[in-house]
Amino acid sequence: MRSFQDLYDIAADRKGDPEALEAMIPKPDPNVSQLPEDRWLSLFTKGVFQAGFSWKVIEAKWEGFEEAFHGFDVDRCAFLHDEDMDRLMSNAAIVRNGPKIRTVIENAHFLQGLRADGGAGKVIGGWPSEDFIGLLEMLKKNGSRLGGMTGQYAMRFAGRDAFILSRDVSARLIAEGVIDKPATSKTAMKAIQSAFNTWMQQSGRGLTEVSRVLAFTV
């Protein structure tokens, strides 16, 4: 496995120079732990609906989603009932997919449950980057349809430090011998976390920055 500096040099060469590369590397939001509950629910819902759908379609309809789900107020969404489901399934302003609509209710319950531990901002936003796979597992286990890439993208879009196992990032991890194929097992995810931890220690950067540098090497 090459050092982060070696990988950074490859990425910088591909993008022209270090300055050009740096301009393309996003930074996580330092205030992510202050993100309100309703924004977490909104981000979860957008991630769930974007999975398997055109992202452009979901973006174009998002104002309709926000209105249909009362600004994703967690307590209101947690108590949606059958009559609300009927209303939502006839609302052309959103994507009318019953199972995905129900995830709004289920993830509102999930967020309510995090209040006992300080709330979503503290739990999700403050989860150590060195155990990001633990956060992903928690989202998969306790949330609704928040496993896999959906959880990864939701975390990145929320602004918290996160890696995304995109095709390019996976290709680099395979090239470095971290994994031998796109990760599907817990063993592979542990190996990925270990590699990211090493690169974070070497560079002083977080998961988001390391992840983007890896992507730009391919």
Q: What does the block give as tokens for 21?
A: 């590369």
Q: Which residues of 92-127 are buried (b: 16+ CB within 10 A; e: fewer)?
A: eebbeeeebbebbbbbbebbbebeeeebbbebbbeb
Q: What does the block give as tokens for 169?
A: 């990032």
Indicate the pTM of the whole model: 0.94
Under DSSP, is residue 205 helix (H, G, I), strand (E, B) or coil? coil
Q: What does the DSSP 8-state code read for residue 122? A: I
Q: What does the DSSP 8-state code read for residue 33? A: G
Query: What is the model's pLDDT at position 53?
Result: 87
CA-to-CA separations, 152 to 78, 80, 178, in angstroms, rounded: 24, 27, 19
C-alpha–C-alpha distance, residues 163 and 128, integer Å:
13
Q: What does the DSSP 8-state code read for residue 32? A: G
Q: What is the pLDDT along the chain (218 residues), one digit of tens a residue?
A: 999 999 999 999 999 999 999 999 999 999 999 999 999 999 999 999 999 888 999 999 999 999 999 999 999 999 999 899 999 999 999 999 999 999 999 999 999 999 999 999 999 999 999 999 999 999 999 999 999 999 999 999 999 999 999 999 999 999 999 999 999 999 999 999 999 999 999 999 999 999 999 999 99
Q: Which of 123, 135, 133, 81 is nearest to 104 (CA)?
A: 81
Residue whose token pair is 């590369």: 21
The domain segmentation of the chain, as residue ranges, is: 4-28+163-216, 32-158
Question: Which CATH entry fits the domain spanning 32-158: 3.40.640.10, 3.40.50.2000, 3.50.50.60, 1.10.340.30?
Answer: 1.10.340.30
C-alpha–C-alpha distance, residues 88 and 84, integer Å:
6
